[in-house]
Structure 1
């Protein structure tokens, strides 16, 4: 049985072919489809290469979302990322979290971005809801 594995490459090839013309806008949907298919199949290196190609065409795309089934993957969070969750639930800003943990605000921003991606969420409110549902804030932050 042939899966969808050849489709990302075919879409990317078609995009490359159309990108050689004077009007590159026709290539963009093919690259976007190739990126989506590559991400969905777990081919993250291919996805990143296609994202770079899209950026050269002036299209900004987000990081690939890990496709998960079932509940959010709390087990994939690092210890440093898990330390932030109770502080977010307590309502601290990224600056206040950075001060509390003796790290830079850039480090907190990066951890937050990774948490959002891993849990497939977009807001601190969603993070708080998930943490409360999971009971991840029972002990509070040290």
Structure 2
């Protein structure tokens, strides 16, 4: 299969401006007497495949970030701990990676807001009993409000 045929197979995955640029380069090469199986043509195909790979990896990162958003009733700790250690209980689901989400700071028993990017999920088995007691108080209040 020639580089042009392979490019046609992935062309729908490329941004329009990138596809136009690659098409122009390949057309110019052929117009100047080059062949469709010259190394230059494979180089242009490799460039296109690299663009697709980067776009796919960015999509995977976006999906992974989406999967790591704050979820109601789960525990979190600061992703980057500077200063004192903090533990949070989410009171709502986050709407996006950067939206502020209502949480309880279990270390000082207060309501605050955090972004999903700023926290990591914590296993409840690794959280101190004193913080779990604060969480239980809020979960009880939520349960009573739901009745």
The TM-score bracket by the shorter chain reads under 0.3
Max Rg structure: 2
* TM-score (normalizing by structure 2): 0.27
Higher helix proportion: 1
Q: Which has the higher strand share?
A: 2
Q: Normalising by structure 1, report the TM-score.
A: 0.27
